[in-house]
Amino acid sequence: MASMFGRVVSALFGSADSAADGDRQLIVDTIDAFVETIEPRLRQASHHRDKLAGNVAHTLAHLRKLGAQLPHEPLLLSRAAWSQDPYVRSFFAAPEDVARCIGRSDEVREFFGAHSACAEACALLGMQRKERTVLAPQLQGEVLRQDVEQTTVGFSGHRLIAVASDLAQSRVEVGRRIMERLAQLVLARVVQAGERAQDRQLQKAMLATRLRMLRSARDGMAQLVTEGSNIEQQISDLEREMKAMAAGQDGPQSRASLDSTIDHMNAVLANPEQHVALAQVRLRLNRMGVKVEPGAGDGDALELSELSIGEGLHATIAFVRIARDEVPPKEDLLAQAQRVL
């Protein structure tokens, strides 16, 4: 799937001199990648490219703008950076939390295991920003007042994905996962529309669609908010269910079903800004993670990037650099877990 979306995401999230939005071949490549991901039998539908081309071009224009808004400078993610970088200090409660985040990332470990010559990797850090109102002491002028209403900002659920040897490759990998997440949104619509299917052939088609959706979720942006182990179990259960229904030959999918799938694709691709968005959030935090007013003497001014895809994915994101020697040995993680238990 990475190769299918390869030229598309390179054009949208790669170099500035890549192909224009109106590039017909880029539109065709995008349609073919979506069709292969969502429902390969759409190739049987007459003029399916013509029916999708306009909305695909609109989606490409939107994603190109979003790609230009992605953070351009990666943060150094290390224990030492916690005391030096206001972003790292705001994202993590303590230096040890930085090490734990790096250490539990299978993607980081797999990358360094497969690239012995790389001393450093780039990745996308995703996390959930949470604000909470508390009553706490606050110095106002020269007077310490008790039980002052304040807003604290914390980050949790840290995940590292799209690990690559440099920022450019990580950006392209993020773009690929965004494209596949869009395809997953279409798949969810198709599954919802056909979940009451009584026809055996259509039931088998829906099972195949569900499986494509789960595989897309496992390999894509859903990793920012879900644990991979849960998705793997769902995939395993679904594969067993499909084997149980494997008897018999499938006939051609009905025209109505194919046209319905195209309609679902167009419903998402016609309004990409409703399904994929990147917002900039500006705030100022002191070292205790408390919001302070702009212009206040203390606190660090932060500009955060927040990515939303569909209803289920909303995360604060930042590109980061990770040195090989910042990855703790696995035995360190086991020792930390035992101490917690």
> Domain limits of the chain?
6-70+168-269, 82-166+276-340
Which residues, given as ranges, of the chain have pLDDT below 70? 1-3, 15-22, 138-141, 143, 194-210, 212-231, 237-239, 241-242, 244-256, 295-297, 331-341
Q: Residue 94: what pLDDT?
A: 95
Helix orientation angle between 330-340 and 95-103, rounded to the nearest 10 degrees = 120
Q: Residue 38: what pLDDT?
A: 84
pLDDT in tens, 207-253: 666 676 666 666 666 666 565 556 677 777 666 766 766 655 455 55
Q: Residue 218: what pLDDT?
A: 64
Which are the contacts of 247, defined by CB distance < 8 A and separation ≥ 6? none
Q: Residue 109: what pLDDT?
A: 95
Q: Residue 262: what pLDDT?
A: 93
For residue 200, give the nearest of 125, 161, 146, 250 by alpha carbon: 250
Q: Give the pTM.
A: 0.80
